[in-house]
Each structure stands twice: as C-alpha cells, then as structure tokens.
Structure 1
C-alpha cells in the first residue's frame, strides 16, 4: 500500500467523527437531528474544501401521530408495530380486516394470492436487504397496493430484534394503504392465525403531512484544473430506532476521512473532487434525486463518477454495487489491489441508495457496501434498534476509507477519454 493510502486508512479523526455523527441520534429527516448533523459535517468538510455550500431541497415530509395493531379474538392481542414512513391513514376508528399470508411477498407469492389479497391486510416478511435476489420492502408494498389490499403488514425476519423502520415510498397525494412493520413474534402469531383460518386485525394509523418540508444537502468541493468532477457521496439521514450507525454513520465518517486524504491528490492535472451529503435518502432517495434533477444539464454532465458510501462496515467483506456499468469492475479491482482490501463487484443496478439516482442520469456510479450476501453479519442490525456504534469494528471502517481513496484517486488520474469510457454499458 502506498504511504499516502496507509496514512488515509489511519486517519486520526475517523473514529471520533463516526462517534460524533452517531451522537446526534437517528437523524431522521424532519427531526432536526439531520440538519444539526449536516451542519457539523459541513464544518468538518470546509477544512479541506475550496468551496462549500449547504442547500435544501423539497421532500414529502410526514409524521406519525398514532399507530396500533391488535390481533382480534376472544381476547384482543396487541402487537408491536411501527408505521412505514408515509403510510396512508386509516379512518378515525381504524379498520378491522381479515389477514392473508403472502409469505415472503415475492411476485410469485402475490400471483398465488391473486384476488384473495383484495380488501384484506396482506402479511409479508422483511428480508435481509443486501442479496442479489431479495425483494425490497417498497416493491412488496407496491405489489400489495396493486393487488387491491386494504393494509400492508411486514414482519421482521429476525427473532427478538423488535420492529424495524423504513419507507413505503408513497408520494404525497399518491394512492396508498396503511402500512406497518411488526416484529418477528407478531408475524408468527398472525401466520398461525392465518393457518387456522381465524386471522383478523384492527389497525389504526394516523399520519400528517408536513407542508413545505425541506431536506439538507451538503456540497464541498476541492477544485482541480481539468473540467469534470469525481463525487464521493453519503447520506446523513437515518431512522430513530437506533442511532443509524451502520446506515449511515459509517459512510459519513469514511467520506470525510477520504475527502481529507484526497485533498492533496487534487491539482491542476486532475478533475475536481466533490463531497455530497444527502438527507431524505431514507424517504425513497428523494434528497439526491432532487439535487441531481435541479442541476443544469451541462453541470450534471461534468460529473464523471459517483462513489457512494452507505453501510461500509458491519462485516469485513466489501462489495461494490456497480449499477450496470461493467467498465467500473476493473477500476474497483485495481483499487482493491492498490489498497490491499479485497472488494467484490455486483453488476446489476440495485436501487437501494443514492448511487441509483446518479446511474439513472447515465453517470457511472457504485455503492460500496459491507456484508453483501451475508445475513449472519452485524449488518443485519440495519433499520433496527440495534443499529448503534458498538456493533462497528474500527478495522472495517478503516479498510473502507483505504479502498475509497484508492478508487477516487484512480479516477482523478484518469484521462478524459478514460473517464468517459466508464459510462459504457
């Protein structure tokens, strides 16, 4: 490993930055914690940046006001629940519904249910989100809406972990149904009742729209002498069950360390290096989508690569999700060799973080991720109350910094023609 890469991996402020960002809390967009953490992070970034600015973009803000779920019977059984962000509300008195079990909630499961989903509450299971064949929560929710379900219940697949937090993806004014996470044990009780032919629930959900909600976007840049921009991105916001340490305190801290380390590598013969921090990522990737959409086409075209850091510790194994850009694979492997950090690649686009919005604009983009295909890893604490700093190992975070620096440095040293070739598909 080159001396500068070794120094980057041993950045003295890395762990204190990680602990500080987690100290703001879960940083859910709209809580104020997200904005406070963004202000702090931009203060850190300004120490290395030529320019920095704090922007805001609109997003569909929402808050939960009331939620309950009861399994009905001779003695109603309250079930632990948490509404998905932007869940539709029930009537004031709630809804009493039969429940149908859709298993994992795959397309085949919904095809099997057919008309049986209509007018009922559909029960599905959460899956570890980082495998090649998982079906995302929002896709399951959309299939339930399309099937005519009256409510959507998604049970945690991990016993003893409690409820999870996540977004329905329902836009403001969009069609939708009440949607709740329940814990593994509640899911088992509902599944047993379904198997016995006696599953009926009362669901109460009330949420309110937040008018004129704005999400923070932080931009810091080190100016190079050539036209073009290499982006390192990470999302600042999270969920409020834990402190969003995995998702995404790890990415924020690693991005800051890489930005510091690379500042000396940017010069008259390189493109510029831009650090982008987004909020409202957990709200269907809205923050980065609005930021990119608002850029002038010529400015957007200057972005040659996005290296998105999201959940980059929690397991020793790293994977780059390269978003249908096969030319990124050799770059990743060269960076892995330079840094001494093994990194696998996954080619198909996985729209599970901000890299997906860059890719949709034709910008080569990857997500660096720990624990791909490893549901037994500590990454399985994502979205839960267990997403706290104590599950993060320092060595894992330091290797993420090293390989991030190696990838970004390789891009900074590419010719214009080489950078353009990364976009080939």
Structure 2
C-alpha cells in the first residue's frame, strides 16, 4: 500500500464513520437488550444480536464457549436496625449469601491505610467504604477494598455511591468461591444515612442476600479478516454489563464502536501487513473471565502472532480519548502514529490498570491498550458507570463518532507495517 493510498484510505474511513447511521443504530439495538448481566436472558438477547452483526461483517466467524460457576442473587435487602428503614442497595456480582444483623464500621474512602488503622476493630463488622471515580491516577479499585475487607476479617462489605441521585452502585463482588463475604452497593443517600447514624454511636444493619449457586455457559464471538501475514491485531470489546440500567457507556458504546470499525477496516485487511481479529468477550465483569479463557487457549506461537490488543471499553463520556498503555513502547508508538495521522491526540496514560480485558493480554506479554473516554477528570460521563444512570441518553453522538474514528486510526496504524 503506497503512502497516497494509505492517506486516501484514512480520509475515506473518517468520512464513512462520520456519516454512518449504523454506529448509533447498533448502540440503540444493544441497549434495547438491557443491562446484559452475564448468564441472563438479557445477555443472551445481546449475544444473538451480536452474532448476527458479526456474521454480517463478512469475515471468518467463530466462537469459543466455556463454563462459569458462581452465585446469583434472588433477593436482597439492607436495613438500618435503629430506624427500621431499608436502605437503597444492590448486591454485587457473586455476592455471598447472608441473613444476619451486623455492626458497621465506617472506613471512609477505604484505602489500605484506612483498613490498617482500624485493624483491631474490623473483625466481625460490616465495613462501609466509598466508591470512587474509577479512572484516575489515585483511584483505589473496589476489588482492592473488598480484598482488604476479607483480609482484615470483615463479615460483610458495603460500598457507597459517591454520585448523588444515581441510586445504588453495582460491580463485581468476588469470584463466588468459598471465603467470599457478602457485598452490597449503596446509594449516596443510603451511605449518608448510615454514616450519620454511625457518627452518633454504634449502628447495626440487617443484611439479606438470597444467593444461589449456578453454572453458566460463556460465549466469546470472533470474526477474523486475514492480512498479508499471519500476524493479527485483536480489536476487542466486552458484551456483558450490570443489571441496574442499559450498560450503555460500559460497554454498549464499545461494542458499537468495534462493529463500526470492523466494517471499515475488515475489507482493507487483505492489503494490510497484519490481519484483524474482532473479539467480543463476555463475563468481563466476572473477573475478566472471557478474555482470560481466550488468552489461556493460545499456544506460544499463536500469542506471538498477536501484534497487539486494542481494547475498547467506555470510549464515550468525554471529548477526548485516552489510552491506558502500561508504558508499553509498542503501544506508545502506536498512539503517537495514530495521533499524527488523524490530527487528534490519543492521550497516553502510563498506569498499569487491570480493570478491563486488555489486562489479560498484558499478563501474557502481548502489548495491549484500553481506549477510554476521559481520565483524571471527574466530570467525565464514566463517573456514572455501574449505576442506574448508565443509559444511552448519557452518550453524546459526537463523542461516539469521535471515539470510533480514533479507534479506527489506532487499529489501522497497528495493522500496517
């Protein structure tokens, strides 16, 4: 491919995405299936839709299935004993069963130092911590806080939403394995009510979670477009989400973006140095299980043929796209080239994050990047992830188109020598 042809391709791709009706149409159709909790009818509907869309792309279609075991909540409540009031709550994924009255200890933000300072007080208590804006340099992930709660002997875990008016916060609550503790998300108002009660003295909550063990079949969807060599670029997004809303930003927008980019780049793969492998992973919200199953299935030679993974997870909610790079030089160079080609910066973040499917590629020694809308700015729409506010109405169409264009530039740059 000559330089003139390459630049003509780029202009055509940008124009096609900018004028596309399919991008927003895919987002709408995906959101119509619901929150897409893995293993539910909502996710099954999304799987059926995405299979049709994937087959329509025209590449080599394939699937990977695997078995997942865990816990599913059939009913829950969190009640403040002193007032008798039920607090707005939501059981975290894989939340252990419970029906017990427990004293509560408020650990504020819930940093490692907060836990260490209350070491002798935590055992037997339900610990209350705060949810944080998830995409910042100083963020302490929910999973870290939950692990600390288990380590310090807490009997249960409560995490309060930091966003007023968005209801309870959801998220992963463990693996469902023995030793897990009950874990609930609370709304901002419920957190304030409980924290106020604790300020006046001891407080107890009655926690109920009717959790039952289950087994589910996970299904990853792939479409391959061969290039001039056997090397490939893996363009990925995760299918599953949470049950509180539509999981629109996280990650309906990522799915729609990957489908749109595949439409534009798939037909161009045959003329590219590297092919394109579109990967739609499920059970991402369950400890990144879908992508872990895929990476584990690869032998050494297959891993070596993956040039990089471009993982699209929440590419909206902000006017600029950021790349979580873990400081990998291959990815840093890729983002710089894409920025020059498109004339719009893809801002690199050097932190090594483990909050999406790219982490499994990095762990296997494969260069990987997560593309995300906004970082270190709490005005970003991603502040509302994992809540009932994650709906399609929060997504600006211009942000969605911009994210798709930048994703296409990054992916095409990776496909070229």
Q: Same fold (TM over 0.5)?
A: yes
Deviates more, 1:28-37 or 1:344-353: 28-37
Unaligned runs of 5+ in 2: 1-6
2:151 maps to which residue? Answer: 146
Are 1:224 and 2:227 an aligned pair? Answer: yes
Cα distance, 1:390 vs. partner?
Answer: 0.9
Whole-angstrom CA distance in 1 between matches of 2:412 and 2:350: 22
Are 1:30 and 2:39 an aligned pair? Answer: yes
Cα distance, 1:64 vs. partner?
Answer: 0.4
Per-residue CA deviations over 1:317-351 (Å, capped at 9, x if unaligned) read 21100123133112202202212322211112111
Whole-angstrom CA distance in 1 between matches of 2:64 and 2:410: 27
TM-score for the superposition, normalised by structure 1: 0.93
Q: Secondary structure at the match of 1:116?
A: coil
2:396 maps to which residue? Answer: 393
Whole-angstrom CA distance in 2 between matches of 1:326 and 1:190: 47
Are 1:194 and 2:198 an aligned pair? Answer: yes
Cα distance, 1:198 vs. partner?
Answer: 2.3
Deviant stretches of 4+, over 3 Å: none
1:306 maps to which residue? Answer: 309
Figure out how many residues of one structure are paired with residues of the other and give that number.
408
Cα distance, 1:268 vs. partner?
Answer: 5.2
Contact 2:373–2:380 (CA under 8 A) maintained in structure 1: no
> Which of 383, 405, 415 is matched with 1:412 structurally?
415
1:337 maps to which residue? Answer: 340
Task: Within 5 Å, give how 1:273-312 maps onto structure 2.
Answer: 273-312=276-315
Unaligned runs of 5+ in 1: 415-425
Per-residue CA deviations over 1:342-387 (Å, capped at 9, x if unaligned) read 2211112111110001111000000000021122222222111111
2:183 maps to which residue? Answer: 179
Contact 1:8–1:257 (CA under 8 A) maintained in structure 2: no
Q: Secondary structure at the match of 2:270?
A: coil
Contact 1:42–1:220 (CA under 8 A) maintained in structure 2: no
Contact 2:72–2:214 (CA under 8 A) maintained in structure 1: yes
Cα distance, 1:8 vs. partner?
Answer: 3.9
Per-residue CA deviations over 1:76-97 (Å, capped at 9, x if unaligned) read 221111111111112xxx2111
> Which of 106, 111, 116 is matched with 2:121 structurally?
116
Q: Secondary structure at the match of 2:264?
A: helix
Whole-angstrom CA distance in 2 between matches of 1:374 and 1:393: 17
Aligned alpha-carbon RMSD (Å):
1.5
Whole-angstrom CA distance in 2 between matches of 1:275 and 1:39: 16
Task: Within 5 Å, give how 1:356-375 maps onto structure 2.
Answer: 356-375=359-378
1:421 maps to which residue? Answer: none
2:105 maps to which residue? Answer: 100
With over 3 angstroms needed to count, the CA separation of the structure-2 counterparts of 1:238 and 1:47, relative to structure 1, is same
Whole-angstrom CA distance in 2 between matches of 1:86 and 1:324: 32
2:3 maps to which residue? Answer: none
1:64 maps to which residue? Answer: 73
1:206 maps to which residue? Answer: 210
TM-score for the superposition, normalised by structure 2: 0.94
Whole-angstrom CA distance in 1 between matches of 2:56 and 2:274: 20
Whole-angstrom CA distance in 1 between matches of 2:195 and 2:177: 32
2:60 maps to which residue? Answer: 51
Contact 2:325–2:352 (CA under 8 A) maintained in structure 1: yes
Per-residue CA deviations over 1:23-65 (Å, capped at 9, x if unaligned) read 1111110112223212322322223333101221222343102
Cα distance, 1:269 vs. partner?
Answer: 5.0
Q: Secondary structure at the match of 2:329?
A: coil
Contact 2:321–2:406 (CA under 8 A) maintained in structure 1: no
